[in-house]
């Protein structure tokens, strides 16, 4: 009987110990789950607080120079903390040279809630300026921001706009041209009458050509449809053709090259990427660098800088570039001193 009572007591104690152990495990699990839930809630709160910045990019048209600036802008944003697909959403639009379409696209990006806008080229930047006075606008490669009505001054923009000015080194370009073409006297200047930046750059080039005691001969086109005939006319009247920064001309540059080559007239473009497309030589601003600077400035504005007193960044230096294949095609002797000092560019045609 005593043994039976002892067995009952021992059994009760065993059940009690098992119950305490089970309760301890359950309590530990509940504490762990509670901690995990708390951590998840905090992570959720953090994720919610760090919403993606929306960046609207509007490119004036399609051609390698502007494509490079857009690529550079993305790179500049990423290098300065704003990565597409992570903490930033980049919405890209291309106006294909149509100002009305650009105005519509700019308005759409504004209405979609973009936090910052980057205009690749003067027309795109102007479209953004017409669409908003509040959202910060970064100019990606504008040749004459004051003349285009985008800023009050380059030192103190005074509005919601700042960015990069790409100022062609015209004197350096003419110096290089004369090394290759010492007998050239009549220099054709081809540009679009519909672009503020092109007109400003053309006027600066014309004045500089006159300073060199050369004869500038100007030709204007209102659309790409006029380019072929205009270039054909130029080839009969000038020794070389100088091309200021111009989106209309750039979008039909292959046509310019084909017509100029038919009559063995060399092209001196402002844009570096045009050398590979058939230009003879230039001192060209690197378009990728222009874009990277635009992206950097956009990041600084997103970090709190005020665009109204953020000075416009001026890019006015470039590298000597020459297309040897084009020189051979045009039967132009390239001085060894120039070969030693320039970067040789291969044709992409």
Per-residue pLDDT reduced to its tens digit, 191-235: 999 888 889 999 999 999 999 999 999 999 999 999 999 999 999
Does position 243 have pLDDT exceeding 90, yes or no? yes
Residue 37: the pLDDT is: 43
The answer to which of 3-17, 272-286, 311-325 has the lowest mean pLDDT is: 3-17
The Cα 344–Cα 348 span in angstroms is 13
Token pair listed for 82: 């704003």
Q: Classify domain 53-167+287-315 at the CATH superfamily level.
A: Response regulator (3.40.50.2300)
What's the pLDDT band for 317 if we cut at 50, 70, 90?
A: confident
Give every CB contact of residue 36 below 8 A, 6+ residues apart in sequence: none
The pTM is what? Answer: 0.78
Task: Provide the sign of the torsion angle of the four alpha carbons 136, 138, 142, 146, taken in this order.
Answer: positive
Kindly report the CATH class assigned to 170-284+318-344: alpha beta
User: Bridge-partner residues for 59, per DSSP?
Assistant: 94, 120
pLDDT mean over 61-76: 94
- Which of 15-29, 31-45, 190-204 tops mean pLDDT? 190-204
Does position 38 have pLDDT exceeding 70, yes or no? no
The Cα 76–Cα 140 span in angstroms is 12
Residue 318: the pLDDT is: 87
3-state class (DSSP) for residue 123: helix
Average pLDDT of the chain is 88
254-289 per-position pLDDT tens digit: 999 999 999 999 999 998 999 999 999 999 888 999
Residue 349: the pLDDT is: 59
Residue spans of the domains in the chain: they are 53-167+287-315, 170-284+318-344
What's the pLDDT band for 155 if we cut at 50, 70, 90?
A: very high
Residue 167: the pLDDT is: 87
Residue 50: the pLDDT is: 58
Residue 183: the pLDDT is: 96
Return phi, psi of residue 84, to 5°. -60, 130
pLDDT mean over 243-249: 92
pLDDT mean over 87-108: 96
pLDDT mean over 151-164: 96
What's the pLDDT band for 2 if we cut at 50, 70, 90?
A: very low
What's the pLDDT band for 21 if we cut at 50, 70, 90?
A: very low
The Cα 114–Cα 257 span in angstroms is 39
Does this chain's domain 53-167+287-315 share its CATH topology with 170-284+318-344? yes
pLDDT mean over 94-102: 94
pLDDT mean over 25-33: 44
Query: Do 185 and 212 meet the contact criterion of CB atoms below 8 Å apart?
Result: no
pLDDT mean over 44-69: 79
pLDDT mean over 300-327: 94
């Amino acid at each position: 009987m005593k043994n039976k009572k002892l067995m009952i007591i021992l059994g009760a104690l065993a059940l009690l110990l098992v119950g305490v152990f089970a309760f301890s495990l359950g309590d530990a699990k509940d504490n762990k789950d509670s901690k995990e839930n708390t951590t998840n809630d905090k992570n959720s709160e953090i994720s919610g607080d760090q919403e993606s910045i929306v960046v609207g990019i509007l490119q004036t048209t399609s051609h390698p120079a502007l494509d490079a600036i857009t690529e550079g802008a993305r790179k500049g944003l990423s290098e300065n903390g704003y990565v597409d697909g992570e903490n930033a959403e980049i919405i890209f639009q291309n106006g294909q040279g149509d100002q009305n379409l650009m105005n519509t696209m700019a308005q759409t990006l504004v209405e979609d809630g973009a936090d910052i806008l980057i205009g690749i080229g003067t027309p795109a930047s102007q479209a953004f300026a017409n669409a908003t006075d509040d959202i910060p606008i970064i100019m990606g490669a504008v040749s004459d921001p004051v003349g285009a009505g985008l800023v009050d001054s380059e030192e103190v923009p005074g509005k919601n706009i700042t960015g990069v000015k790409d100022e062609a080194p015209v004197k350096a370009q003419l110096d290089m041209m004369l090394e290759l073409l010492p007998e050239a006297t009549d220099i054709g200047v081809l540009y679009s009458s519909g672009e503020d930046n092109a007109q400003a750059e053309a006027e600066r080039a014309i004045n500089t050509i006159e300073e060199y005691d050369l004869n500038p001969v100007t030709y204007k086109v209102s659309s790409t449809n006029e380019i072929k005939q205009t270039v054909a006319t130029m080839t009969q009247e000038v020794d070389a053709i100088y091309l200021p920064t111009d989106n209309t001309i750039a979008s039909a540059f292959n046509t310019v090259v084909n017509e100029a080559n038919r009559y063995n007239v060399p092209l001196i473009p402002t844009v570096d990427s045009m050398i590979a497309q058939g230009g003879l030589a230039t001192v060209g601003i690197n378009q990728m660098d222009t874009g990277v600077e635009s992206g950097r400035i956009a990041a600084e504005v997103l970090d709190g800088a005020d665009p109204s007193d953020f000075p416009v960044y001026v890019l006015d230096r470039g590298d000597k570039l020459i297309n040897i294949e084009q020189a051979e095609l045009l039967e132009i002797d390239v001085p060894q001193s120039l070969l030693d000092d320039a970067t040789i560019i291969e044709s992409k045609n």
